[in-house]
Amino acid sequence: MKIPVYSLLLVLTMTACNTAMDEAPPGPRFDGTAYRPIYATAQEQKDIKSLPARPLRNPGKIYLLGSFLFINEMGTGVHIINNSDPKNPENLAFVSIPGNYDIAVKGQWLYADNGTDLVVFDISNPTNVKLVKRVEKAIPLSKYPPFQNTYFECVDDTKGVVVGWEKVAMTVRPNCYR
């Protein structure tokens, strides 16, 4: 009779000491903030516009062509700045490119991602930038933010195309992590 009691106590002790349930999920401790996708329709994502200058908020890459700077604004487009007087740079314009996180310049051409599309601009006249080509679906679809070691809301394809990410307060840790 004593053997079954010891066996029962052993089983209860082992399950009470199971640390697997107490382990934290992979990734850093959740701090109450995470990234949420910003969605647009396929048509909104392709809507590229030249707009008046605006302040830089979240700059990325910078390219120089002559005395002009082309500065990527993460997720939204490219600033065009006349830097002929480096002490007084003049912010000339902003090219709105939804879902833009990367740019490259070669000669008179500016290459940019526009969601999953690659777009090419003629920048030979930086005060009159022109879209000259679109290569659709040239860039693999990304279902996570361009940041490492962070939690984020999983992408829901039924809501549209992801054109950006915003960091927001969340009360519950999202299921996705990168």
Q: Where are the domains of the chain?
A: 33-177
- The answer, yes or no, to whether residue 10 has pLDDT greater than 90, is no
The pLDDT mean for the chain works out to 87
User: Could you tell me the two tokens for 73?
Assistant: 């604004």
- The answer, yes or no, to whether residue 14 has pLDDT greater than 80, is no
Contacts of 112 (CB under 8 A, 6+ apart): 72, 78, 97, 100, 102, 103, 104, 118, 119, 120, 121
pLDDT of residue 147: 82
pLDDT of residue 22: 43
pLDDT of residue 140: 85
- The answer, yes or no, to whether residue 19 has pLDDT greater than 80, is no
* Class for the domain spanning 33-177: mainly beta
Cα-Cα-Cα-Cα dihedral sign, residues 82, 52, 60, 133: negative
